């Protein structure tokens, strides 16, 4: 029997558990152990991976003593900054997020269950790099930037350049994601996130976020972002490009959805067939555009 088939509470792996007290201690640990170390935030992905044998490491490095440094939602003139260890519950509870970043609010409020959202973090949702990560799909719709840090400095990575494939990102072994920066949305823009899940606490079979700004009935700005239909969460760039500058009409949306079909590459797995995902994704995007734009 394979480890992943076992329903067990036991982690059948020996590792050392470390609890750095400061950021510089954490960065030294990452410099020293690199690929042998795994960061532990809420653990709702990592611990499942360790139990099922998908994830292997020699050191589990807890972020629990860095909560103060890594957990905040700060509003600035042109952007908001969210600390990587901010929990989904904290994001769900932020009136600022609910008012300005509706799709992010809608994405996080349905992740897992209240118990999961109480400990799961937005940084974990991003760095786990699941193609179905609801939080990531919504952050793509807001052109978020990710601040990553190592012992020699920091860099800012646009979120659409962060993912390389399932479970793979551009993060170097000695880097940590510390902050998500989201520019304030354009004036009068609206956004929405919808997903299809097998049960209330299941991972999405398909999900979509759209961020739309209309000038009269013309689409001035649009982001169409999709989850669980490609090796990473994606933006439907060609569909966005087709719609930008066009009138928001049923005919144009129909045409756009034909383009969108060519931008997805879903697989068949336990959550749904590729054919279903392709069909459902078009339905989600059509529904969101209708809810946001009335057409
Ligand atoms: C029952 C259940 C239901 C779920 N439902 C959903 C769902 O509906 N939608 C959804 O998107 N997800 C879902 N998830 C997945 C999970 O809860 C989320 O992805 C969550 O946000 C992960 O956050 P975490 O803090 O628990 O991450 P962890 O498990 O602690 O970490 C995840 C990965 O990210 C790395 N990491 C964490 N923080 C950092 C950091 N700051 N810098 C660099 N690397 C870091 C870790 O090393 C690990 O590889 C579900 C999980 C469970 C168990």
Report the pocket of ligand 1 as residue ranges, CB < 6 Å: 38-46, 48, 84, 88, 111-112, 116, 120-121, 123-125, 127-128, 133-135, 171, 176-177, 201, 203-204
Summarize the confidence of residues 197-224 as an average pLDDT.
95
Residues 255-288 pLDDT 10s: 999 999 999 999 999 999 999 999 999 999 999 9
Residue 4 has pLDDT above 60, yes or no: no
Residue 165 CA, ligand 1 centroid: distance in Å: 16
Which pLDDT tens digit goes with each residue over 149-170? 999 999 999 999 999 999 999 9
CATH 3.40.50.300 matches 190-293: no
Compute the average pLDDT of residues 17-24: 98
Q: Is the dihedral of CA 240, 244, 248, 253 positive or negative?
A: negative
For residue 92, count other CB atoms closer than 10 A to its CB.
19
* Cβ atoms of residues 171 and 127 within 8 Å: yes
Instruction: List all residues 6 or more positions away from 90 whose beta carbon is below 8 Å from its beta carbon.
Output: 71, 73
- Average pLDDT of the chain is 96
Q: What is the pLDDT of residue 7?
A: 62
Which 3 state secondary structure label does DSSP give 129? coil
> Could you read off the pLDDT of 214-240 as tens digits, one per residue?
999 999 999 999 999 999 999 999 999
| Integer angstrom CA distances of residue 82 from 121, 207, 236 | 11, 22, 25
Residue 73: which of 58, 95, 55 has the closest Cα? 95
- Cα 175 from Cα 85, distance rounded (Å): 15
Return the CATH architecture of domain 8-61. Answer: 2-Layer Sandwich (3.30)
- Looking at per-residue confidence, does 295 or 10 come out higher? 295
Query: Tokens standing for 93?
Result: 């509870």
* Same fold for the pair 8-61 and 190-293: no
Give residue 2's pLDDT band: very low, low, confident or very high (50, 70, 90): low
**Per-residue pLDDT tens for 64-112?**
999 999 999 999 999 999 999 999 999 999 999 999 999 999 999 999 9
As beta bridge partners, residue 37 has 59
Question: Domain 71-183 adopts which CATH fold?
Answer: 3.30.465
Q: What pLDDT sits at residue 272?
A: 96
Residue nearest to atom 27 of ligand 1 (CA): 124
Q: Taking the CB of residue 186, how many other CB atoms lie within 10 A of it?
A: 11
Model confidence at 1: pLDDT above 70: no
- pLDDT given for residue 201 in this prediction: 85
Which pLDDT tens digit goes with each residue over 22-35?
999 999 999 999 99
Parse the chain into domains and list their residue ranges.
Answer: 8-61, 71-183, 190-293
The pLDDT confidence band at residue 206, using thresholds 50, 70 and 90, is very high
Q: What's the confidence (pLDDT) of residue 12?
A: 86
| Residue range 174-186: mean pLDDT, rounded | 98
Q: Which residue has the tokens 């500058």?
A: 245
Closest ligand 1 atom, residue 133 Cα:
11
Sequence-ordered list of residues with C-beta below 8 angstroms from that of 258, at least 6 positions apart, any chain? none
């Amino acid at each position: 029997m394979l480890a992943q088939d076992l329903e067990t509470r036991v982690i059948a792996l020996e590792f050392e558990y470390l609890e750095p007290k400061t950021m510089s201690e954490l960065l030294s640990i990452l410099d020293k152990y690199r690929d042998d170390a795994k960061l532990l935030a809420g653990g709702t992905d990592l611990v499942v991976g360790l139990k099922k044998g998908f994830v292997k490491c020699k050191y589990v490095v807890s972020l629990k003593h860095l909560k103060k440094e890594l957990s905040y939602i700060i509003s600035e003139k042109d952007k908001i900054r969210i600390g990587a260890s901010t929990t989904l519950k904290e994001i769900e509870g932020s009136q600022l997020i609910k008012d300005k970043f509706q799709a992010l609010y809608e994405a996080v409020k349905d992740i897992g269950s209240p118990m999961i959202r109480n400990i799961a973090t937005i940084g974990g949702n991003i760095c786990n790099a699941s193609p179905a990560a609801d939080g990531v799909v919504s952050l793509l719709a807001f052109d978020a930037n990710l601040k990553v840090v190592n012992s020699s400095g920091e860099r800012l990575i646009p979120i659409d350049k962060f993912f390389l494939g399932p479970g793979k990102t551009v993060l170097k072994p000695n880097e940590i994601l510390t902050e998500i920066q989201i520019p304030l949305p354009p004036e009068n823009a609206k956004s929405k996130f919808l997903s299809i899940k097998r049960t209330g606490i299941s991972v999405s079979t398909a999900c979509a976020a759209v961020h739309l700004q209309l000038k009269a009935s013309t689409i001035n700005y649009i982001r169409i972002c999709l989850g669980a239909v490609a090796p990473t969460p994606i933006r439907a760039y060609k569909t966005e490009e087709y719609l930008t500058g066009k009138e928001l009409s049923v005919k144009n949306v129909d045409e756009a959805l034909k383009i969108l079909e060519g931008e997805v590459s879903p697989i068949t797995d336990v959550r749904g067939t590729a054919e279903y995902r392709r069909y459902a994704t078009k339905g989600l995007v059509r529904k969101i555009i209708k809810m946001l734009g009335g057409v």
